[in-house]
Structure 1
Amino acid sequence: MTSRVATLNPKVEQVLKSFKLSREELMLVIRNMRKEMEMGLSRKGQKEASVRMLPTFVRSRPNGKEQGSFVALDLGGTNFRVLLVTFCSQTEGGMKLVNQTYSIPQEVMQGRGIQLFDHIVDCVAKFLSNQNITERLPLGFTFSFPCNQISLDQAILLNWTKGFNVPDCVGKDVVQLLREAIQRRKDLDLEVVALTNDTVGTMMSVAYQDLKCEIGLIVGTGTNACYMEQMKNIEKLDGDLGEMCINMEWGAFGQGEQYSLAKIVNEFDKLVDQQSLHPGKQIFEKMISGKFLGAIVQNVLLNLKEKGCIFQGIQTSKLKQQDIIKTKTMSQIESDSGDLLDVKSILEDLGLPCGIEDCTVVQAVCLAVSQRAAQLCGAGLAAVLERMRENRGVDHMKITVGVDGTLYKSHPHFSQILKDTVKDLAAKCEVHFHQSKDSSGVGAALVAASTRAS
């Protein structure tokens, strides 16, 4: 693969160069991320900070003593999950889980609030009916969009991300919207006791198995991170005792003038941003997450076609179709370490018949885009790790990061590049990455369970 990349057209090399990050540039990302984190936690700077550093009111992690049955909802992308989670003693198996995935139609994702929440509750009703559940159960809600959380069961939606655009929900308490939708049905009896996001849910579900887990990371359709912060450092909240999980909402990093990513953002990032549903927002996320990487690749290939570097003599109108290249396609292309016949077949299936030289260029583009994404994610995580280590006043720190998301789990190189980047940039931290197996919905049930234990 390296030899192929070495023989690329100089014009192709020049384009790919805009995706290569030096160690100095990654260290700049760390410094700027840490400045934004500090601003987000402060009273004065919180409104200007692009990294919102939102309090979650989750004050503790699981201790293994959780008991009872809980309904959990997990909304964070085009698929929506309903779970029934039962916590019991270790001798009884520890945890029992039943779940069902439901799709959310495009018109509901971009419609009215009453449509969205009625659809969610309809899915819950079907699930509970299938499970023959008639008793009143507490419910934990994983809602993976930026919210100003006022308490465990009160959260004001700040803005939508990841393809959702339901304007009449913005500025409203999403827990109350869910409660009202439940009340509109006479056949449901659920008590919404806690709201969390997928990042916090991932941290909680991994911490149930690994007590050293104090960070949650999502790298899927979108990207975000959370971590346990000492209360004395959360200036915008009263109280100095104990700790609280902070939902960073780091996908928005770089979207303001303050501590910008301008030195790293290239022309293709700008194009993807302009073409997106929310221009000027979620800049970091658009450079990392699964929803946008395929679009970056698509824009690069169109640029190379115009330069005469690829697909010569071939009609490529297909390449202009929105979402023709998905992140899953990139994973398949990057997995071909042989003669590139798999890449050729993939491109032909997309309506892009081509030769092996074109396949070499396409694979090189995919590799460059995904490698940069993993490095940026690693730099963001290194910023969190170094802050936690320094706050504790220790020279060396062992910690577990709970991870979820299809990009991390399914891409052939992403997770290893991420780990290598963290090891290089946060050398004093010994990091174990623990992949979440039971989805962030289990975390919402654990947060709900903690309200019963407290």
Structure 2
Amino acid sequence: MTSNEDDKACEIAIIRRKVDWLLSPLRLSHSDLQRVQALMRQEMELGLGKETNARSSVCMLPTYVRATPDGTERGEFLALDLGGTNFRVLVVRVAEDSIRIASEIYIIPTSIVQGTGVADLMEQILPLGFTFSFPCQQLGLDKAVLLNWTKGFNASGCVGKDVVQLLRDAAQRKENFALNVVAVVNDTVGTMMSCGYEDPKCEIGLIVGTGTNACYMEEMRNVGTVEGNDGRMCINMEWGAFGDNGCLDHIFTTFDRLVDEKSINPGKQRFEKLISGMYLGEIVRYILLAMVEKQVLFHGKPCTKLQTKDIFKTRFLSTIEIDGLGLRKVLAILRDLDLHATFEDSVLVREVCQTVSLRAAQLCAAGMAAVVEKMRENRGLDQLVVTVGVDGTLYKMHPHFSQNLQQTLQVLAPKCTVTFLQSEDGSGKGAALVAAVACREARP
């Protein structure tokens, strides 16, 4: 080797050591994931207990959803779906051998997301299922008190109120307009019900999009917060808050803490901030800033635009990680951000994106492993066969998230055969089906 070659090799080795040092806290071992799985199971048990519920970071909220579609539901139902960046209005027609859906999607303006919680509504009177994808204490199928906002929402005058009554009040403000709300449903529950119409084995719902959450069918005998021991009830876990009590502090990195501190709800929804689409781009941004500071990226030159919050979108991760995508495309993304990147920089940025998204999928799998193992033990089975209904842009759009999730889950829960079924029509269809089931059961 020449002297120049020796210097170059030495420089590359130094950069590699710095990169590995920065990324190593995000690279979770099998034992790390097993510990997360055990902690999730522990929090689930606490959340189900009447006396211990307040100590758990996982709320384990009863949904009062006790029955799934049996094929005899008929009629036309309205569904409203409020859960992230969009507001969906659906008319769902349930016939003998089909479900037909007409829908409109509206972008929610910031004036409503962080305003007064007042909105205009579509004029139509039908039995209505309301998908409301925020933590609520459900007091009945059509009564749910908002506990707190998540996913960037902070509309005033809503926390502590019955969201169904708020919806009815909003309807009454429109002349000659009334609502027949028969069920309020979390989007995760709606996803489970929607997929349950297609597959009777679907007893779990999972959302991995702007936020993340899960629900599943729990034995009533284990639900200490509701009277009765017979049958099962769907439990809305609200697992995005897992770790808010500090139990996950050991896996929080410097980058995660920065994202949390600068968020609209510091200290809240900490598991969600490790997994969901609203935050992964920010984690990557902070890692890239640290790499610039360590002189391993962009020649260590200050990157003014990279200092801007949310400038690195989570959708960039999906694009950058597409198999076979040339580094020229990665370079184009970085240069659109005014980052003077080289091909070597592009390779490192892709590695950062892969590390962050892999960890998100693995953590999601650890949480799901706790759920399926609990269901298996509840039922005294040697092997559980179950389907997970799943929705969310991160799960659907990222090129590797779903595969990484499923592979990790298989390792962590080998006694469970888990199939993932994507929700084709979103959580709104599930809300309409909950309303349809409620109307069916109300018939004499």
Question: Is the TM value for this pair above 0.5?
Answer: yes
| Secondary structure class of the residue paired with 2:217 | strand
Q: 1:45-444, aligned counterparts within 5 Å?
A: 45-90=52-97, 94-113=98-117, 115=118, 118-119=119-120, 121=121, 124-125=122-123, 136-257=125-246, 260-312=247-299, 314-335=301-322, 337-444=324-431
| Secondary structure class of the residue paired with 2:128 | strand
Letter in 2 for 1:246: I
- The answer to whether the Cα contact below 8 Å between 1:336 and 1:343 also exists between their aligned partners in 2 is no
Give the deviation of 1:188 after TM superposition: 2.3
Structure 1 equivalent of residue 3 of structure 2: none
Structure 2 equivalent of residue 133 of structure 1: none
Letter in 1 for 2:429: V
**CA distances 1:89-142 after superposition (whole Å, capped 9, x unpaired):** 11xxx11100010011112100112x3xx23x1xx23xx5xxxxxxx3111100
| Secondary structure class of the residue paired with 1:246 | strand
Change beyond 3 A, Cα 1:10–1:109: same
Structure 2 equivalent of residue 131 of structure 1: none
Give the deviation of 1:283 after TM superposition: 0.6
| Secondary structure class of the residue paired with 2:427 | helix
| Secondary structure class of the residue paired with 2:115 | coil
Give the deviation of 1:6 after TM superposition: 9.7
Give the deviation of 1:420 after TM superposition: 0.1
Give the deviation of 1:315 after TM superposition: 4.3
| Secondary structure class of the residue paired with 2:399 | coil
Structure 2 equivalent of residue 450 of structure 1: 437
Letter in 1 for 2:385: K
Give the deviation of 1:335 after TM superposition: 1.1
- The answer to whether the Cα contact below 8 Å between 1:231 and 1:243 also exists between their aligned partners in 2 is yes
- The answer to whether the Cα contact below 8 Å between 1:288 and 1:374 also exists between their aligned partners in 2 is yes
Q: 1:1-80, aligned counterparts within 5 Å?
A: 9-80=16-87
Give the deviation of 1:26 after TM superposition: 0.5
**CA distances 1:249-294 after superposition (whole Å, capped 9, x unpaired):** 000000114xx01111111000000000000001100000000000
| Secondary structure class of the residue paired with 2:157 | helix
- C-alpha RMSD of the superposition: 1.4
| Secondary structure class of the residue paired with 2:389 | strand
Structure 1 unaligned regions, length at least 5: 129-135
Letter in 2 for 1:189: A
Give the deviation of 1:336 after TM superposition: 5.1
Identity among equivalent positions (%) equals 56
- The answer to whether the Cα contact below 8 Å between 1:8 and 1:361 also exists between their aligned partners in 2 is no
Change beyond 3 A, Cα 1:223–1:6: farther
* Separation in 2, partners of 1:6, 1:411: 31
* Separation in 1, partners of 2:388, 2:408: 14
**CA distances 1:401-440 after superposition (whole Å, capped 9, x unpaired):** 0000000000011000000011000101111100000000
**CA distances 1:378-399 after superposition (whole Å, capped 9, x unpaired):** 0000000000000100100111
Give the deviation of 1:314 after TM superposition: 4.1
Letter in 1 for 2:25: S
- Structure 1 stretches of 4+ with a deviation exceeding 2 A read 5-9, 187-190, 336-339
* Separation in 2, partners of 1:310, 1:376: 28
- The answer to whether the Cα contact below 8 Å between 1:137 and 1:189 also exists between their aligned partners in 2 is no
| Secondary structure class of the residue paired with 2:58 | coil
**CA distances 1:203-258 after superposition (whole Å, capped 9, x unpaired):** 0000001000000000000000000001001012110011100000000000114x
TM-score by length of 2: 0.95
Give the paired residue count. Answer: 430
* Separation in 2, partners of 1:449, 1:326: 38
| Secondary structure class of the residue paired with 1:291 | coil
Change beyond 3 A, Cα 1:374–1:6: farther
Letter in 2 for 1:68: G
* Separation in 1, partners of 2:242, 2:170: 33
Letter in 2 for 1:182: A
* Separation in 2, partners of 1:63, 1:266: 47
Letter in 1 for 2:282: A
